Amino acid sequence: MSEQTPFSPDLSDTQIDSISASIKRLTNKVQVITETVQNLTQNRVQLEGKIEGAQKRIQHILSRLPEQSDGRQLNLLGVAIPPTNAEDDSEPTTH
């Protein structure tokens, strides 16, 4: 029985060196690609979190909007605005 070798016996040392160099370059490229994919995945998770937070803030603002039939002024910032009375805007009447 003969033992199998990974390379044919007729390969020269320069060919083996060339193949080894190619394997090393490919290994480095795969490592760079793997790191890039990991970074992109991390960025995606962060962006999804930011999007979710923005959606919650928008939903909170929308929940504070008055109904369409409500004629009051919109107060989206939550600042207390004193109600305006129609009587205050008119001139005082003399009796």
pLDDT grade for 66, boundaries at 50, 70 and 90: confident
Q: What is the per-residue pLDDT for 64? A: 85
Report which secondary-structure segment, H or E, holds 51.
helix 13-63
Give the predicted TM-score (pTM) of the model.
0.50
Q: What is the per-residue pLDDT for 12? A: 86
What does the pLDDT look like over 8-56, one tens digit per residue? Answer: 567 788 999 999 999 999 999 999 999 999 999 999 999 999 999 999 9
- Is the distance from CB of 79 to CB of 91 less than 8 angstroms? no
- The rounded distance, in Å, linking the Cα atoms of 60 and 54 is 10
72: CB partners within 8 A, 6+ apart: 66, 83
- Is the distance from CB of 76 to CB of 58 less than 8 angstroms? no
